[in-house]
């Protein structure tokens, strides 16, 4: 057997992310995920004890064109195969059938290497929809931070966990001491620098340490950590507005309708939910509302992300997902991933060994 050790050939085949490989090379190097252990199932769909990637594809493509949103969640540590599975699924959707026709599913794949600013470009690749979204790198960090603080002061009723007086204290300008505007400006600048240098990073607008300093200055007492995520969510919501996305839910719904009108069932594949940055919470909030659109939505996240963002919540959409998926912590170990599927009030959970 001949061997080709040309550096370019090696680089094409040995690539960190499957989504960066060509379709042919991916199929040459992809190891089929053919033993998916059915750890917990509560669904009218019957499966054997062990599933295959084809079974997962079958589950996704069981939807009809105008069915409501359906959400699939893949949870697993880095290297467990989330990107492999999503990339394989993206290549299977839109295939030519034995009849010669092409199936009606169309893959919209947001991979680990894509940024949040790419999300709507990916979603609108095959439909004509105005998609004027500002790249976060183009923002003036100082002006953006000033606008965010002003919006929070004016629309403080979005922060129901804080009193009106507390909102004013949180957003107060402090010349020589830490204030929210400086925190936001610094974090935006840091994110922009890493983005331009193609460094993989997640946008954290307010860290725990910064929140502690801020609340100490504003309230002169220990921070209430349960309110940090609410503050972050409010800031992200205002930031998406500054970026030109007034309503993530309405935009996603209009894109969905555009695909259905063309006879396609859109399938959103997102390897790693945190890569959506400021959009992740609003996107997830949309995904769990069945009547809002006509997508099959596959999202991946890590156990550590789940424990930090979903596990602590007792209300809101994170708690809703936790309840519906009925996650069992002891089922996560090693390089395993958990596959959740919720449809018509039922839940399907499978442990994916990649």
The domain spans of the chain are 20-126+249-353, 136-242
Place of tokens 């499957």: 18
Q: How many CB atoms lie within 10 A of CB 219?
A: 15
- pLDDT at residue number 353: 38
- pLDDT at residue number 241: 84
From first to last of its 354 residues, the chain has per-residue pLDDT tens of 566 667 666 565 565 565 566 777 777 778 887 766 554 444 445 555 667 788 888 888 888 899 888 888 887 777 778 888 899 999 999 765 555 455 789 999 998 778 777 888 899 988 988 767 777 888 899 999 999 999 888 876 667 788 888 889 989 988 878 899 999 999 999 888 877 666 556 778 898 899 999 998 888 888 888 888 888 888 888 888 888 776 788 889 999 999 999 999 999 999 888 888 788 888 888 888 888 899 999 888 887 877 776 655 555 555 666 555 443 322 222 233 444 443 333 333 344 433
CATH class of the domain comprising 20-126+249-353: alpha beta
- pLDDT at residue number 147: 93
CA distance 6 to 239: 47
- pLDDT at residue number 31: 81
- pLDDT at residue number 260: 94
| DSSP secondary structure, 252-309, as one string | HHHHHHHHHHTT-EEEEEES-GGGGGGGHHHHHHHHT-GGG---EEEEEE-HHHHHHH
- pLDDT at residue number 267: 95
- pLDDT at residue number 141: 92
């Amino acid at each position: 057997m001949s061997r080709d050790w040309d550096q370019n050939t090696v680089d094409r085949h040995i690539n960190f992310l499957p989504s960066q490989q060509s379709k042919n090379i991916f199929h040459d190097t992809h190891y089929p995920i053919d033993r998916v252990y059915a750890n917990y199932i509560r669904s009218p769909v019957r499966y054997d004890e062990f599933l295959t990637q084809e079974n997962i594809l079958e589950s996704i493509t069981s939807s009809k064109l105008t069915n409501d949103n359906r959400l699939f969640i893949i949870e697993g540590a880095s290297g467990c195969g989330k990107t492999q599975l999503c990339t394989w699924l993206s290549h299977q959707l839109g295939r030519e059938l034995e009849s010669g026709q092409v199936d009606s599913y169309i893959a919209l794949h947001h991979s680990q290497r894509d940024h949040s600013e790419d999300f709507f470009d990916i979603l609108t690749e095959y439909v004509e929809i105005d998609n004027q979204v500002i790249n976060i790198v183009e923002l003036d960090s100082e002006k953006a931070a000033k606008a965010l603080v002003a919006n929070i002061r004016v629309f403080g009723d979005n922060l129901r966990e804080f009193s009106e007086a507390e909102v004013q204290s949180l957003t107060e300008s402090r010349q020589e001491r830490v204030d929210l505007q400086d925190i936001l400006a610094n974090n935006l600048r840091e994110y922009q620098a890493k983005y331009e240098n193609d460094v993989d990073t997640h946008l954290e607008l307010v860290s725990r340490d910064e929140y502690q300093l801020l609340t100490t200055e504003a309230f002169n007492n220990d921070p209430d950590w349960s309110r940090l995520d609410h503050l972050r969510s409010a800031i992200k919501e205002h930031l998406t507005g500054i970026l030109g996305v007034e309503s993530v839910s309405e935009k996603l719904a209009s894109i969905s309708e555009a695909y259905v009108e063309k006879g396609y069932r859109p399938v959103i594949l997102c390897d790693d939910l945190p890569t959506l940055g400021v959009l992740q919470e609003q996107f997830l909030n949309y995904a769990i509302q069945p009547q809002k659109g006509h997508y099959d939505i596959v999202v991946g996240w890590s156990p550590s992300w789940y424990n930090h963002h979903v596990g602590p919540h007792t209300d809101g959409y994170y708690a809703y997902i936790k309840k519906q998926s009925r996650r069992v912590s002891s089922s996560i170990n090693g390089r395993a991933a958990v596959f959740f599927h919720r449809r018509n009030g039922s839940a399907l959970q499978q442990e994916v060994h990649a």
